[in-house]
Amino acid sequence: PCLLRFPSNGHGPPGVYSIEHLDIHFYLITPENREECVPAAPTESIWTEDKECDVSPDFPPPPSVTCEQLEFLTAPLPPEMLPPGYANANAVEPAMGNHLLCFGCPDFMPELAVPGHIFDYTWIYGAQGGELSFFEPMITFPFLQALSEATSLDELTAIKTHGECSFDDGVATITTSFPAPEAGPEAGYYPTAYKMSFDPSGADNDGEFTISLIDFVELPKASIKGKKPKCPGEHWES
């Protein structure tokens, strides 16, 4: 299942992802599993000042997340399931999951970024219950606009911050790889790259963007040692 979100003012941490962009979640779990374990927030907040959850100042939990749910969402992954360079940020969202960020990537190390392009597109992993649960390319609207306006390989190369470019039959494409784990929550095929394309003749000549996961590799199932974290299974009363 895929979930598309559009935070018009971006989101935390401040100064990193605080620009309008698309969050594109490709889930490894069902919508029912997502909602059952940590359901969407109720209207009324249950967060109180005397809670003693372990929280990050850059990513305070939403008011509706209980300490039990926070513990479930941020449960550590087996080492072989944790992608190289990524770490738990305690950036949790109800009915979504926890976010694993690459703190050694240009997003968080401006000295490694192309000047003026700290965040144009990036890759995030999601987890809950000690397992990977989603893949998330995040892409800014200014970048998508520039992608749609590129009319040659040179123009496309000029907007690329990382990855490979191609310009074939008028279709502008940037492909970028990302670190993959050594094992997954289940044995199977997992992506190691994603592709962003704009076809001006697509969608009945109005133009069409395509974001796709590619270059799948076969991974074994990770070995889970000890007890698997229990889904809180808390449902809000209407």
Among left, alpha and beta (phi > 0; psi -120 to 50; other), residue 165 is beta
CA dihedral 82, 86, 90, 94 (to 10 degrees): -70
CA–CA distance, 197 with 208 (Å, rounded to integer): 8
Question: What pLDDT shows up at residue 235?
Answer: 42
Q: How far apart are CA 100 and CA 148, in angstroms?
A: 29
Does the reported pTM lie above 0.85? no
Give dist(CA 159, CA 173) in Å, integer: 11
Look at residue 117 in the predicted model and tell me its pLDDT: 64
pLDDT at 225: 75
State which residues of the chain have pLDDT below 50: 42-51, 234-238
Share of the chain above pLDDT 70, in %: 79
Q: If we measure between CA atoms, which residue out of 136, 159, 134, 147 comes closest to residue 207?
A: 147
Task: Decide if 77 contacts 127 (C-beta within 8 A).
Answer: yes
Assess contact for 195 and 173: CB atoms under 8 A. yes
Which of 72-89 are b and which e, b meaning 16 or more Cβ less than 10 Å from the residue's Cβ? bbbbebbeebbbeebebb
State residue 120's pLDDT score.
87
Q: What is the pLDDT of residue 44?
A: 41
Exposure string of 122-140, with b = 16+ CB inside 10 Å and e = fewer, is bbbbbbbbbbbbbbbbbbb
Nearby residues of 165 by Cβ (< 8 Å), 6 or more positions away: 153, 156, 157, 172, 173, 174, 175
What does the longest C-alpha to C-alpha distance in the chain come to?
Answer: 60
Alpha helices in the chain, H assignment, sequence order: 31-37, 67-73, 141-149, 153-159, 202-205
- Asked if 154 and 50 count as a contact pair (C-beta separation under 8 A), the reply is no
What residues form DSSP beta bridges with 122?
Answer: 138
How far is the C-alpha of 95 from the C-alpha of 173, rounded, in Å?
32
